[in-house]
Amino acid sequence: MQPLFLFRSAEFYSDQFVNGLTTGSIYALIALGYTMVYGVLQLINFAHGEVFMLGAFAGYGVLMGMGGDDLSGGAVALAIVVALIAAAIASAAVATGLERIAYRPLRRAPRLAPLISAIGASIFLSHLVDDYFLNGEQRFYPTIFPTGKVELGPVSVSYLQLFLIGASLAMMALLYWLVQRTRHGRAIRAVAESRDNAALMGIDVDRAIVLTFVLGAAMAGFAGVLYGLFFSAIRGSMGFIPGVKAFTAAVLGGIGSIPGAVIGGYFLGLTESFGRELLNEIPFVNLPNEWKDVVAFALLVLVLIFRPTGIFRQKEGKRA
Partner 1 sequence: MSAGTLRVAAVGIRFEGLAALTDVSLEVPAGQIRGLIGPNGAGKTTLFNCVTGFYRPTSGQILLDGVRIDGLSPHEVSRLGVSRTFQNIRLFANMTAIENVLVGGHLHFGNLPSRPLDARRPTRGRLLAAAQRLPQAPGGAVAALREMAGAVVRPPAVRQAERVAIRGARQLLTAVGLPGRENVIARNLPYGDQRRLELARALATRPRLLLLDEPTAGMNPQESAAMVGLIRRLRDEFATTVVLIEHQMRVVMGVCELISVLDYGRKISEGTPAEVQRDRLVVEAYLGTRAPAPEEQDGAP
- Contacting residues toward partner 1, per CB under 8 A: 96, 174, 177-178, 181-184, 186-187, 189-190, 193-194, 196-205, 207, 210-211, 214, 316-317, 319
Which residue number, 107 or 184, has a Cβ lying nearer to partner 1? Answer: 184
Which residue number, 207 or 313, has a Cβ lying nearer to partner 1? Answer: 207
Q: From the CB of 222, what's the least distance to partner 1, in Å?
A: 15
- Beta carbons of 241 and 15 less than 8 angstroms apart: no
Count other Cβ atoms within 10 Å, centred on residue 43: 20
Q: From the CB of 94, what's the least distance to partner 1, in Å?
A: 14
Which residue number, 206 or 293, has a Cβ lying nearer to partner 1? Answer: 206
Q: From the CB of 186, what's the least distance to partner 1, in Å?
A: 5
C-alpha span between 10 and 12 (Å, rounded):
5
C-alpha span between 229 and 142 (Å, rounded):
8
C-alpha span between 44 and 246 (Å, rounded):
12
Amino acid making up residue 221: G
Which residue number, 108 or 181, has a Cβ lying nearer to partner 1? Answer: 181
Task: Give phi and psi for 160, each to the nearest 5.
Answer: -60, -45
Which residue number, 190 or 250, has a Cβ lying nearer to partner 1? Answer: 190
Q: From the CB of 181, what's the least distance to partner 1, in Å?
A: 7
Which residue number, 159 or 177, has a Cβ lying nearer to partner 1? Answer: 177
C-alpha span between 289 and 224 (Å, rounded):
21
Q: From the CB of 102, what's the least distance to partner 1, in Å?
A: 18
For residue 139, the cross-strand partners are 234
For residue 234, the cross-strand partners are 139
**Integer-rounded Cα radius of gyration of the chain:** 20
Q: Which residues contact 50 (CB under 8 A, 6 or more apart)?
A: 94, 121, 122, 125, 126, 239, 243
- Of 205, 193, 63, residue with least CA distance to 140: 63
C-alpha span between 30 and 221 (Å, rounded):
8
Q: From the CB of 36, what's the least distance to partner 1, in Å?
A: 14
Q: From the CB of 32, what's the least distance to partner 1, in Å?
A: 16
Which residue number, 42 or 197, has a Cβ lying nearer to partner 1? Answer: 197
